[in-house]
Amino acid sequence: MNLQTMAGAFNKRRSLNWIPLALTYSCMYMGRFNFNLVKDDIGQTFYLDKAEMGLIAACGFWTYALSVAINGSIIDRLGGRKGIIVATVGSAILNAGIGFFFLNTQVTKILIPLTILWSLNMYFQSWGGLSIVKINSAWFPVKQRGIFGGIFGAVLSTSFILTNTFGAWIISHYSWTFIWFVPSVLMFIFSIIDYYVVRNTPSECGLEDIDTGDGSIKGDTRLSKITLSHFREKLFSRPVILMLVMAEFFTGFIRQGLLLYATEYLNEVQSMSKSHPLFAWSGIALFTGGASGSLLSGWISDKYFQSRRAPSAFIFFVAQLFIFAILGYSPYATSTTGQIIAIVCMGLGTMLALGIHGLLSGAAGADFGGTRGAATVVGFVDSFQYFGSGFSGIVMGWVLKTYGWGPEAMPLNAWYWAALLLPCSLFGAFVMLKMWNADPSPSARH
């Protein structure tokens, strides 16, 4: 077999591997973002205020943070294929369980049981991203991870259409409780597809393992025990990992602070209910933003910055300052023009937030972790993103409950919401400047 034929067979099998994975994770995201969509419905039905709903979200995020930090080394040993199956089956069962729980609208005192169920769901969700990064780290070299990570993120962004557009249609025609059963069924289906189609490494498909260029030894993609010394070496031997951790904390606050309260912002500031004709477009805007952000950020880092992720992330952090300022000001609020501006800005905000998330948590984590330690490093870095996400639920829930969206003199503005997001973008930009020249290649380590 000549080199061109071998390359064609490799690319074809690689596509067959990561496309089902991307669609699987999209369905998993629907089983996570459905909470954002119906958070206000849950609160109204069961008499929970914004602070209590924020607490439920925070417990889920912190469960994710703790488990993702621990599960990384487990998945490095177990393998991504088994990990993604555990993730989809577990989250599917929990989503169905929550749906059945909500069918009984006469139940009272749901704060604790719902917190437990949602936290368990987030535990299984934490297996998903790590497993996918683990698998893809053996199939994509560093020089391709930015662009292909962007394509992967674009497919993943279909979760916004599944949730905000299709989900809003479900709620308008049936009941908000149905939003839990749809992702459950989809995850079960994809767990079966992944079992038969997905493989951990090229060698498991009869192909030759590749040199990924991340410091791993070619062919050293085995599923082996990650020792404490290996864990310590990967996480604490380089200051860049600690800078990634700091940036990810604030990235998590921004990302979830935007997505967790986007629906309520449209409902309460823009007077746009889920049955409003424009609301379905929020899902399309979030999808377009998420997809373009993932593609653009990866393309910029690979094309113009020699696969260094920090410069591209810096550009996105700075751009966030302008978008969040517009959302805080909310020009022409409640008018059709104002509602369109809000939807567009939410799409742009998602583009920037997910672009940064993909760069720092996925690409950079895998770059500095290497093939053997990809899930370990990504899990550690990503855990701090979800610690930050948890604080967004606690802090924003309390602020919005206590003070509302903005000053009383400007009731249609959302300055308090924006004021919590803007400092995080400033700090993220500063950290990216500090790690501007960070290079994952082996030669850069000496």
Q: What is the pLDDT of residues 222-269, one digit of tens each?
A: 444 545 455 555 555 567 777 778 888 999 999 999 999 999 999 999
| Residue 106 clears pLDDT 90, i.e. is over it | no
**pTM, 2 dp:** 0.83
pLDDT for 422 beyond 60: yes
Q: Which residue has the tokens 């990810």?
A: 248
Half-sphere exposure of 25 (CA within 13 A, CB side): 23
Q: What is the pLDDT of residues 147-189, one digit of tens each?
A: 666 676 677 788 888 888 898 898 888 889 999 999 999 999 9
Whole-number pLDDT of residue 231: 52
Give the model confidence (pLDDT) of 354-378 as tens digits.
888 877 765 545 555 554 555 566 6
Query: What domains does the chain contain, in order, with CATH numbers?
Result: 15-201+226-436 (1.20.1250.20)
| 193 pLDDT higher than 60 | yes
- Which of 288-325 are b and which e, b meaning 16 or more Cβ less than 10 Å from the residue's Cβ? bbbbbbbbbbbbbbbeebebbbbbbbbbbbebbbebbe
Q: 201 phi and psi, to 5 degrees?
A: -140, 160
The H-assigned helical ranges of 404-446 are: 415-434
